[in-house]
């Protein structure tokens, strides 16, 4: 059985690899042919030798001076889908059973890449959580905060962590980064991780699992001089993960034999109790 960590990383890669900047290309008005071409190229990238998949490492790599290749996708916020108010978001159905109506509403044909992306997003949001996992999809800032608060429980203040690019970067580039300071572990009793899914308006997929995860803040400097204050998560117990998981291919290891860590892209939100309890 795949663990929820597995599910999360697969989702992460759906977002990173297949759908990266997907709606923004559609809003830039490129034609269907170009869009299909891009989609094909993106799908072609789903192999373990692809740069975008080299983002896994182990907890032993989190050391001052360590150099490793990392790919941080950079998205242009001006082309991100709009964040709706709760009122507006709640006025539009958010269910795969309403997909046809939704496609009409947003003027996408049934067999368009956007239709496939919307269907995929709705289905991800409808999957039942795994054992020990809480999950939700948020379609507005209010619902994001309310649902996150519900996971932490009553009267638990919480705050958000994100990966920050400290230097202006406009292009995504796989490059070697060096860890510039001693990585700082951030203690958190519970972690809620949220990442955007492709949809005509902003949708965050969030989940939290009760398993052995560690969070770190890591200062990195790229070969191009770009500085990144990154948030990393290490999954310490991978024994329940599927042995086909791409992380094991990249790290040349097996379930349960090694921790699996990854950095969060800048558009992910990592919520933790504040102060940590
Ligand atoms: C990173 O550095 C290693 C060794 O110095 C080199 O072999 C590798 O090609 C570099 N990777 C990238 C993406 O620049």
Give the closest residue (by CA) to ligand 1 atom 10.
176
Please compute the mean of the pLDDT values over residues 223-250 and round it to a whole number: 90
CA of 65 to the centre of ligand 1 (A): 15
CA distance 48 to 234: 20
Residues 6+ apart with CB under 8 A from 16: 52, 73, 265
66-86 b/e (C-beta count within 10 Å ≥ 16 → b): eebebbbebeeeeebbebbeb
Q: How confident is the model at residue 277 (pLDDT cuts 50, 70, 90)?
A: low
- pTM beyond 0.95, yes or no: no
Q: What's the pLDDT at 156?
A: 93
Looking at the CA of residue 68, tell me the nearest atom of ligand 1. 1
Yes or no: say if 143 and 89 are a contact pair by the CB < 8 Å rule: yes
pLDDT tens column, 8-63? 333 333 333 333 334 433 333 333 344 334 433 443 344 444 545 557 999 999 99
176 lines ligand 1 (CB under 6 A): yes
pLDDT tens column, 152-178? 999 999 999 999 999 887 777 788 999
Percent of the chain with pLDDT over 90: 58
* Other beta carbons within 10 Å of 226: 19
Considering the chain, what is the average pLDDT of its residues? 82
Looking at the CA of residue 174, tell me the nearest atom of ligand 1. 13
Q: What's the pLDDT at 53?
A: 52
Mutate to test the pocket of ligand 1, among 49, 51, 69 (most ligand atoms within 8 A of CB): 69
**CA end-to-end distance (rounded Å), the chain:** 31
């Amino acid at each position: 059985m795949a663990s929820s960590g597995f599910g999360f990383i697969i989702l992460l890669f759906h977002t990173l690899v297949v759908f990266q900047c997907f709606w923004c290309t559609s809003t830039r008005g490129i034609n269907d042919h170009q869009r299909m071409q891009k989609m094909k190229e993106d799908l072609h990238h789903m192999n373990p030798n692809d740069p975008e998949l080299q983002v896994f490492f182990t907890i032993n790599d989190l050391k001052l001076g360590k150099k490793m290749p990392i790919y941080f996708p950079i998205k242009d916020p001006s082309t991100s889908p709009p964040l709706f108010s709760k009122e507006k978001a709640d006025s539009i159905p958010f269910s795969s059973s309403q997909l046809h109506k939704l496609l009409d509403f947003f003027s996408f044909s049934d067999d368009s890449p956007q239709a496939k992306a919307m269907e995929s997003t709705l289905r991800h949001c409808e999957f039942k959580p795994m054992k020990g996992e809480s999950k939700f999809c948020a379609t507005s800032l209010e619902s994001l905060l309310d649902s996150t608060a519900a996971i932490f429980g009553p009267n638990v203040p919480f705050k958000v962590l994100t990966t920050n690019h400290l230097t202006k970067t406009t292009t995504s580039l796989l490059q070697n980064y060096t860890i510039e300071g001693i990585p700082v572990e951030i203690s958190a009793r519970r972690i809620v991780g949220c990442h955007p899914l492709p949809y005509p308006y902003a949708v965050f997929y969030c989940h939290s699992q009760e398993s052995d995860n560690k969070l770190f803040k890591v200062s990195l400097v790229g070969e191009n001089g770009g500085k990144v204050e990154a948030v990393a998560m290490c999954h310490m117990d991978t024994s329940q993960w599927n042995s086909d998981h791409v992380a094991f291919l990249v790290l040349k290891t097996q379930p349960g034999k090694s921790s699996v860590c990854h950095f969060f892209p800048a558009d992910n939100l990592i919520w933790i109790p504040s102060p940590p309890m």
